[in-house]
Amino acid sequence: MSRVWSEQAPGSVSLVGAGPGDAELLTLRAWRRLQTAEVLVYDNLVGPGIVDFAPVTAERIYVGKSAGNHTLPQEDICQLLLEKAREGKRVVRLKGGDPFVFGRGGEEMDVLLQQAVPVEIVPGITAALGAGASFGFPLTHRDHAQSCVFVTGHLKDQALELNWQALAQPNQTLVIYMGIHGLERIAAGLQGAGLAPETPAALVYRATWPEQRLHACTLATLAATAQRHGIKPPTLLVIGSVVALAAPERPSALV
């Protein structure tokens, strides 16, 4: 039997990407791991209904984090994963998006491997891909952007000292995760590095969720747009000319 269809071993942890929200965007392997989970440790960005794919007998443990409100500190989450795996359980650590894209999956993997606990990584569709697909703007395009950069706007020490010069390059799409509380600093940093104030931008709230919204603006009007619409996390910031291709009301291919 191929590795793709192998079962998760008892006493191991699968770090599973739940995707951007829509349950139909789960990978087949993610769905299979949920079906056989004995312990499910999940975050607050996991889309509606996804947790229900796990058996009713599975132990469900919510460890969601939001700004200034952590159900469990990261160190305690790692310890929880270790303890459940050492009980011989099949542990699924379910994360919104992809475990390795600003999901702290690397930290959890390191701790588990240091303690000789087998770890599997199941990738998921990250929020930027979900946003582009939902609202019809490509992250790369031969006429607009030949590169795409993902950046976190929420650093470990709460600082926001990014390489503005590298981020303010022409023909590039910039996607900033967790940047909603630093919009003024982001706009100032990018403009100071030479990015035009009229550069198209978008604030995307809960891409692929039923309540998803896209608020189009420019680099110069980012903070004002967020304030006017009362935008809150989780919101993705996309900057670059590809945003001008977005069509929030575009016809659907679904029937």
Show which residues are catalytic. 43, 65
The neighbour count for residue 150, using CB atoms within 10 Å, is 16
Nearest alpha-carbon partner for 91 in 48, 63, 60:
60
Q: At 210, is the secondary structure helix, strand, or coil? A: coil
Q: What is the 3-state secondary structure (H, E, C) of 45-110?
A: CCCCCCHHHCCCCCEEEECCEECCEECCCHHHHHHHHHHHHHCCCEEEEEECECCCCCCCHHHHHH
45: left (phi over 0), alpha (psi -120 to 50) or beta: alpha
Closest to 12 (Cα-Cα) out of 112, 85, 116: 85
In the structure encoding, which two tokens stand for residue 146, read together?
């030949």
CA pair distance 199, 190, nearest whole angstrom:
10
DSSP state of 19: B
Nearest-angstrom CA–CA distance, 123 and 101: 9
Cα three-residue angle 198-209-218, rounded to 5 degrees: 5
